[in-house]
């Protein structure tokens, strides 16, 4: 798998500077406890299509200072931006042939879906803002929606505020874009800018690995399932705040039972 690279560039302004989504306390009592879903059941509400394999490149763009009109003084810099290699369609988990009513429906389903416990509180707020922004881009901006009739491809990347990145990874994981979550997450973690968001980035990546493990076990690809669970364990242990979460205990338990089951299957074959 090609690893993404991160580079600094300039961006004019944040998409919605009025939305405040800074780091704060962990989200408590919100969500439907879907951690076990990724290991033993179906996907949470909003889950749709699987990610297509491919190389991913993620870039972090720093906001450039803008000179105030009629003055030589520079205005305060805008919020730092991150460029992620996804289309608006991928964020909503729909195909590029989706009609407008399908786009609205997909956005609404994701907006009302409860997210996994453990994310910081502001992820929910940023997630709502992201979904509205992506929906509106597909409905009203041809650059992002593309046009089959005019043979225009949709824009293949999004510029979003840094504070929206965990929300984007959260949604991408929900709609089945695990490979994108892992590669964009790895790219983001290489930046010092990501420090306030490490908890949420690692959580999204761990949940993506759990989804990969579940799919692998369902296809009887046991070795791949074990590898994904081991990576999920590693990610959750990288941050003390994640080690205390029930998700790590569930992953450990599932890993243990899967190991025992694999051992018993070998004995039976003997």
| Phi, psi torsion values for 27, nearest 5 degrees | -70, 125
**What's the confidence (pLDDT) of residue 270?**
45
pLDDT at 78: 65
Q: What's the rounded mean pLDDT across residues 242-269?
A: 60
Residue range 52-106, pLDDT digits in tens: 434 445 554 444 444 444 444 455 556 788 899 999 999 999 999 999 999 999 9
User: Over 80: is that where the pLDDT of 177 sits?
Assistant: yes
pLDDT (mean) for 252-267: 51
CA 3/CA 64 separation, integer angstroms? 27
pLDDT band at 222 (very low <50, low <70, confident <90, very high): confident
Confidence of residue 193 (pLDDT cuts 50, 70, 90): confident
Cα 56–Cα 199–Cα 159 angle in degrees, nearest 5: 40
Contact criterion met (CB below 8 Å) for 122 and 21: yes
Other Cβ atoms within 10 Å of 47 Cβ, number: 20
Percentage with pLDDT > 70 across the chain: 63
Domain spans, the chain: 8-63+76-269
Euclidean distance between the first and the last CA atom of the chain, given in angstroms as a whole number: 36
Using CB atoms within 10 Å of the CB of residue 178, give its burial: 0 to 12 exposed, 13 to 18 middle, 19+ buried.
buried
Q: Give 127-164 pLDDT, tens digit per residue.
A: 999 999 999 999 999 999 999 889 999 999 999 999 99
* pLDDT in the model for residue 43: 36
How would DSSP label each residue in 217-244?
Answer: HHTT-HHHHHHHHHHHHHHHHTSHHHHT
73 secondary structure, DSSP code:
S
- The answer to whether residues 217 and 176 touch, using CB atoms and an 8 Å cutoff, is no
Least reliable range by pLDDT among 46-50, 113-117, 244-248: 46-50
Tokens read off for 71:
């003055």
pTM: 0.72
């Amino acid at each position: 798998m090609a690893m993404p690279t991160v580079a600094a560039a300039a961006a004019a302004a944040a998409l919605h500077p009025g939305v405040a989504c800074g780091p704060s306390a962990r989200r408590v009592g919100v969500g439907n406890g879907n951690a076990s879903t990724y290991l033993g059941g179906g996907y949470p509400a909003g889950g749709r299509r699987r990610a297509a394999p491919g190389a991913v490149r993620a870039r972090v763009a720093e906001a450039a200072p803008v000179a105030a009109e009629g003055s030589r003084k520079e205005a305060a810099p805008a919020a730092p931006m991150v460029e992620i290699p996804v289309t608006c369609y991928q964020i909503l988990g729909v195909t590029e042939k989706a009609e407008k009513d399908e786009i609205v429906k997909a956005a609404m389903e994701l907006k009302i879906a409860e997210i996994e416990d453990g994310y910081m509180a502001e992820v929910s707020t940023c997630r709502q803002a992201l979904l509205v922004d992506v929906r509106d881009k597909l409905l009203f901006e041809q650059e992002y929606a593309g046009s089959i009739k005019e043979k225009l491809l949709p824009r293949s990347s999004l510029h979003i505020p840094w504070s929206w990145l965990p929300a984007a990874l959260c949604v991408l994981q929900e709609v089945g874009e695990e490979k994108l979550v892992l590669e964009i997450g790895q790219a983001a973690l290489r930046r010092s800018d990501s420090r306030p968001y490490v908890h949420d980035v690692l959580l999204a990546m761990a949940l993506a690995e759990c989804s990969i493990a579940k799919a692998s076990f369902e296809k009887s690809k046991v070795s791949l399932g074990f590898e994904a669970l081991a990576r999920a364990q590693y990610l959750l242990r990288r941050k003390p705040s994640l080690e205390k979460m029930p998700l790590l205990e569930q992953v450990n338990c599932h890993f243990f039972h899967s190991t025992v089951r694999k051992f018993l299957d070998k004995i039976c074959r003997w």
